Structure 1
């Protein structure tokens, strides 16, 4: 059954997202008002080194008041290629410049509410270029053994579903 978005109007907008109200027609012909969030694409990156360790951020999310492991991420700027944005975010948030990036996966973390698409990349090497510009984004940056990832995810230490999916896929690819 397909729902039809007949029209949308913006009710709030800033540089990161828009909140729209849609007139949705259901398969039985009824209509409902549905709020949705329109977001820019998000670029995510990490590196897995020769020792099969993955570079992670330990950070607090004030919205949920939780701590957890994450990958460096941010919105893709106008005119910026997604892979370039992923490399930029990794360097800004960790101080490590990734080598050639490989696309790992793209996910829609909340497709019942938002059109957000997260594009996740990884590299097999990186160069340390200095302290992160955006050090305020995480409490610490650590190289975590990939072999520990399934247990870390199972304990809830990677609360973001997109990050958990990416880390479990990297674990499978490298240690599978």
Structure 2
């Protein structure tokens, strides 16, 4: 196998071009050959965190309307970091805000980059199989209409296999939980 020399780009300048729900910077980057280019980078949050909660043969998901794709989807309780938060604290806060559930413990599951070609921030996944308390969701963002839904694991797996789960965070969390022995393996589904 032939390998090429791996060189990095150098950031020469960063200019804020949009600040709203999404924060975009226009980076001027110097390439290894000395040429320069502009590259827009999503720097909206330091990181995001999501939680996969499993209780017996049930998985907690959220049901939310996602405007960019004009669809209601299943996803995980998740959100972006607030100033000074650690990933585990963001995960705990988002789980409670969106579902009213307080986890007894959170186990780091996996960290990945949702769109490494355009976004700088990682997503930290956590797993919980112990719920300390259940209350009412406390979210106050009118753009987030969230409801908590418990699905059987086999229902979730069927939705994933049929391509009906669109949220990559949920698919990755399910796969990583199975790979680490925290959930049953994914089974092939005859469609």
TM-score, length-scaled by structure 2 = 0.81
Asked if the contact 2:52–2:173 (Cα under 8 Å) also holds between the matched residues in 1, the reply is no
Higher Cα Rg, which structure: 2
- Residue aligned with 1:32, SS: strand
Q: CA deviation at 1:163?
A: 2.1
Mapped pair 1:13 → 2:13: no
CA deviations on 1:64-94 (whole Å, 9 max, x unpaired) are: 1122111111111112221111111101111
Query: After alignment, is 74-83 or 148-157 more displaced?
Result: 148-157
Q: Among 122, 133, 139, which residue is 1:117 paired with?
A: 122
Mapped pair 1:175 → 2:180: no
Mapped pair 1:104 → 2:74: no
Paired residue for 1:151? 158
Cα 1:113–1:147, aligned 2, differ >3 Å: closer, same or farther? same
Asked if the contact 1:146–1:171 (Cα under 8 Å) also holds between the matched residues in 2, the reply is no
Asked if the contact 1:107–1:162 (Cα under 8 Å) also holds between the matched residues in 2, the reply is no
Mapped pair 1:48 → 2:63: no
TM-score, length-scaled by structure 1 = 0.87
Query: After alignment, is 59-68 or 140-149 more displaced?
Result: 140-149
Asked if the contact 1:44–1:73 (Cα under 8 Å) also holds between the matched residues in 2, the reply is yes
Paired residue for 2:40? 35
Kindly tell me the number of residue pairs found equivalent between the two proteins: 174
Gaps in structure 1 of 5+ consecutive residues: none
Asked if the contact 1:38–1:116 (Cα under 8 Å) also holds between the matched residues in 2, the reply is yes
Gaps in structure 2 of 5+ consecutive residues: 1-5, 186-191
- Residue aligned with 1:63, SS: helix
Paired residue for 2:188? none
Asked if the contact 1:12–1:18 (Cα under 8 Å) also holds between the matched residues in 2, the reply is yes
Q: CA deviation at 1:114?
A: 0.9
Paired residue for 2:170? 163
Root-mean-square deviation over aligned CA pairs: 2.0
- Residue aligned with 2:43, SS: strand
Q: CA deviation at 1:36?
A: 1.0
Q: Distance in 1 between matches of 2:128 and 2:90?
A: 14
- Residue aligned with 1:74, SS: strand
